[in-house]
Structures are given as C-alpha cells and as structure tokens.
Amino acid sequence: MRAACKLAARLLDFAGTLVKPSVTTNEIDRAVHHMIVEAGAYPSPLGYGGFPKSICTSVNECVCHGLPDSTQLQNGDIINIDVNVFLNGYHGGTSRTFVCGEADESIKHFLKAAEECLEKGISVCRDGVNYRKIGKKISKLAYFYGYHVVERFVGHGIGTMLHSEPLILHHANENSGRMVEGQTFTIEPILIMDKAECVTWENGWTTVTDDGSWAAQFEHTVLVTRTGVEILTKH
C-alpha cells in the first residue's frame, strides 16, 4: 500500500506540472498513463466499469469523474486530477485541484478551504473513532467558509480492491461504525461554491453542477494507526 500510494502521489505531482493554458486533458492523461506503465504499475480506472481513460480530469463545474478529451485548458480554470494506480497487488489513490495559470483571490480561497476540509477530516482518524466524525468535521468547516459539501460521492476502503467498505461520508451523518487499526481508506470531500444539484452526463461518468457552480476536491489515502493516522499519499 505504501509503495502504491507513494507512486500515485509522485504521479499526481507530475500531472500538476502539465497544467498550463492550451494543454488538453487528453495530453495529461497520455503522459500520466505512460509514466504509470513505465513504473511497472497499471492505471486503476482504465477499464474499471468500462471507464475509458487512465485518470480523471474534472474542470471547473465538473464535480468528478471527468473524462480526458480534446478540451484545452484556459487561463484561470481549475482542474482536479485524480490518479489511482495498481502496483504489486495494491491500489493507491490521490487527487488534487490545480489552478491553470492565474486565478483570482476568490478561487484561491475556495481551493484553500477545500484542502483544509480534507486535512480536518483526516485529523480525527485513529483506532476506535466513529467514521461519522470525519463528515461532521468536514461539513462544519465547509459551512464556516460558506461552501457546500457534495453528499453524493464518498470516500471508501482501498487496498487489494479499488473500492470496498467502509464508505466514508463527507457530510454530517449519524452512521455507526468505528475505525480499526490497520485499515486503509480514502477521504475525498468535494466542495462546491454554491448549493447546486449534481447531474451525470450520458457517458455515465462525468458529473457536473446543474447551475455551473465550480467544484474542488482533494483526496488522500490514509492508514489508521493505534494512536492516529498515516497519510500514505502525502506528497
């Protein structure tokens, strides 16, 4: 898990260096795919449930699962790049929202809040803690900043399988269940600037806000320890 997650983190850093005006999301996908294969790994999303690409690239109002295509990035865009790799029998996943070129202060504030929400959710993790504490911490902070947490998409167990139990809700909830030492799962809250509904396109993957509100997401794979948590995809 550590090796897979370390590779995912390194590849996400690399993907971020490619985010520039006029670059296409297809070009980023191809470059990352090449590096994954070169590292002796497999891109976890490719072929998963029919997913046709090696990474997800979600631009501006795209909430998640954006398919890389011929879209050229523009100055001021934001793009979430989600990298998942399968290495020596284990999956590791991480994502980050990058700014293309220059962004205005309101966008920088939004991204800072989204990243802080992830950090806040991670901070409560340790053996014996209720999963629901993650969602409570994240939603409280998002509300404080004036943003909204997307409830539809969740974190999840990850290891020999890409998606497994437990499901990690990022919004306030009363679900039962406690963390156990040795567990690995993702925490990946998505924030949107204004309260909006999510709509999935006919391709069955790409999900966007119905009113064009922008979305931001940050994700880490974490390992629960007896005294706290280890961030396996820390870059």
User: How does DSSP assign 179-224, residue by residue?
Assistant: --TT-EEEE--EEESS---EEE-TTSS-EEETT---EEE-BEEEEE
Q: Which domains does the chain have, with CATH numbers?
A: 1-229 (3.90.230.10)
Per-residue pLDDT tens digits of the chain, which is 235 residues long: 999 999 999 999 999 999 999 999 999 999 999 999 999 999 999 999 999 999 999 999 999 999 999 999 999 999 999 999 999 999 999 999 999 999 999 999 999 999 999 999 999 999 999 999 999 999 999 999 999 999 999 999 999 999 999 999 999 999 999 999 999 999 999 999 998 899 999 898 999 999 999 999 999 999 999 999 999 999 8
Residue 138, φ and ψ in degrees, nearest 5: -65, -50
How many C-beta atoms lie closer than 10 Å to residue 14's C-beta? 15
Non-local CB neighbours of 15 within 8 Å, separated by 6+ positions: 28, 31, 32, 55, 81, 83
- 65 marked as binding residue: yes
Q: What pLDDT sits at residue 74?
A: 98
CB 176, CB 130: distance < 8 Å = yes
Q: How far apart are CA 125 and CA 134, in angstroms?
A: 8
Residue 208, φ and ψ in degrees, nearest 5: -130, 165
- 105 marked as binding residue: no
Instruction: State the pTM of this model.
Output: 0.96
Q: Where are the alpha helices (DSSP H) in 124-169?
A: 132-145
* Cross-strand bridge partners of residue 49: none
- 219 marked as binding residue: yes
Q: What pLDDT sits at residue 235?
A: 80
Q: What pLDDT sits at residue 69?
A: 97
- 163 marked as binding residue: yes
* Structure-block tokens of residue 201: 């396109």
> Is residue 9 packed enough to be buried (19+ CB in 10 Å), middle (13-18) or exposed (0-12)?
buried
What is the distance of C-alpha 193 from the center of its chain?
17
Q: How far from 215 is each of 5, 67, 208, CA to CA, in Å?
A: 24, 16, 9
- 13 marked as binding residue: no
Note every long-range contact of 155-158, with CB atoms under 8 Å and residues 24 or more positions apart, other chains counting: 155/185, 155/186, 155/187, 155/188, 155/189, 155/219, 156/185, 156/186, 157/183, 157/184, 157/185, 158/91, 158/92, 158/93, 158/184, 158/185, 158/186, 158/221
Non-local CB neighbours of 219 within 8 Å, separated by 6+ positions: 82, 93, 94, 95, 96, 118, 155, 186, 187, 188, 233
- 170 marked as binding residue: no
